[in-house]
Amino acid sequence: MHFKLSRCVLAVFTLASTISASIHRPSKNRGCAAEQNNAVEWDTAGLSGLVSLHLCPGGATDISQSISVIAISVANSGSYNWRPSRSIKSHKSFTIIIIDSTSHSVSSEDFGISGLETGSMTSRQGYNAITTSGMKTVHEAASTQMAVTHETAAPMMPENSVVVEHPMAT
């Protein structure tokens, strides 16, 4: 009985060390900037061998939704220098998932990427957009969300007009 209990405790400690790895940067309070060098920093404890870093939409728990591969088969050194492209596809937020050589993974907090091209905006990022529709030009500026402007033109009915309703055939 004592031997079985010790094995169980060892398994729990092994599992705890596997999931103790965490990504410190980027985070919800320290995002990234497009076309600039950004440090990805993580604890190496619980990760073995070479690691791969994947950019995923915020909230992703595995790489099946990967937007792009940041790095593949790099040393588990705890840091990687990353320069995100300005043309990254738009998402509300992003997460980085690191996978080691034994398929253990760790995910970052959701974070934003500033400086993406117009139309590739994330939350918590400022932008200026100019939209031209017909004869009217609209200029909008926002600091936290992308605004979408819709312009609809409908014919105006003169005052005192008569609308004739036709009964529908049944």
Give residue-wise pLDDT tens across range 70-128: 999 999 999 999 999 999 987 899 999 999 999 999 999 999 999 988 654 444 433 33
Every domain of the chain and the residues it spans:
21-114
Pinpoint the alpha helices (H) of the chain.
2-18
The CATH number corresponding to 21-114 among 2.60.40.10, 3.40.50.1700, 2.60.40.2840, 3.40.50.300 equals 2.60.40.2840
Backbone angles phi and psi of 100, in degrees to 5: -95, -175
**Local confidence band at 33 (pLDDT 50, 70, 90 cut-offs):** very high
pTM above 0.85? no
Q: How far apart are CA 58 and CA 70, in angstroms?
A: 15
Contacting residues for 133 by C-beta, under 8 A, at least 6 apart: 149, 151
Contacting residues for 93 by C-beta, under 8 A, at least 6 apart: 57, 58, 59, 110, 111, 112, 122, 123
**Residue from 145, 28, 37 nearest 94 by CA:** 28
pLDDT for 160 beyond 80: no
Cα dihedral value 51, 56, 120, 140, nearest 10: -120
